[in-house]
Amino acid sequence: MDIRRLEHENLTRAYGLDMKLLYPWNGLTAPFRGAWCVLRPGDVSVSHAHHEHEIFIGMAGTAAVVAGERRHEFMAGDLVFLKPGIEHHLVNDRDEDFSYYAIWWDRAMSDEFVAAESDRADSHD
């Protein structure tokens, strides 16, 4: 078992928010990617769309997810699923931080994971 602690001092400013990518994590392989994300009061993440599927897991606070022309409140405990190609961004117009975990995946990540696991299993035979 390996535990990665939240390290507020090691977050990186990118895409209009503070974040820490899941990778690199020595010894971890997974068919997805992820990031711990923190929107500070007044933050608006960069609007974008991508070919991956994505899930947001609300951890603390309240913000809004804007998808296309629609704005949806998003708070701790909520889950958001975004299909590929949906233009989206997050807005924190509150007086406190909003934290969430983003997880994204596509076929290439799954194929990469299966290949790595197959190689690992073959090396143990």
Residue entry with tokens 């895409």: 15
Model pTM?
Answer: 0.89
Strands in 31-96 per DSSP E? 33-39, 53-60, 62-67, 70-75, 79-82, 88-91
In CATH, the architecture of 7-123 is: Sandwich (2.60)
The pLDDT value recorded for residue 124 is 64
Helix or strand or coil: residue 65? strand
Give the residue among 84, 48, 82, 78 at the shortest CA–CA distance from 63. Answer: 78
Pairing label, strands 98-105, 53-60: antiparallel
Does residue 63 carry a pLDDT above 80? yes
CA distance 90 to 71: 9
Residue 107, φ and ψ in degrees, nearest 5: -65, -40
78-117 pLDDT tens trace: 999 999 999 999 999 999 999 999 999 999 999 999 998 8
* Of 62, 29, 66, residue with least CA distance to 47: 66
Sketch the domain layout of the chain as residue ranges: 7-123
Query: Does residue 8 have a pLDDT over 90?
Result: no
For residue 125, the model assigns a pLDDT of 62
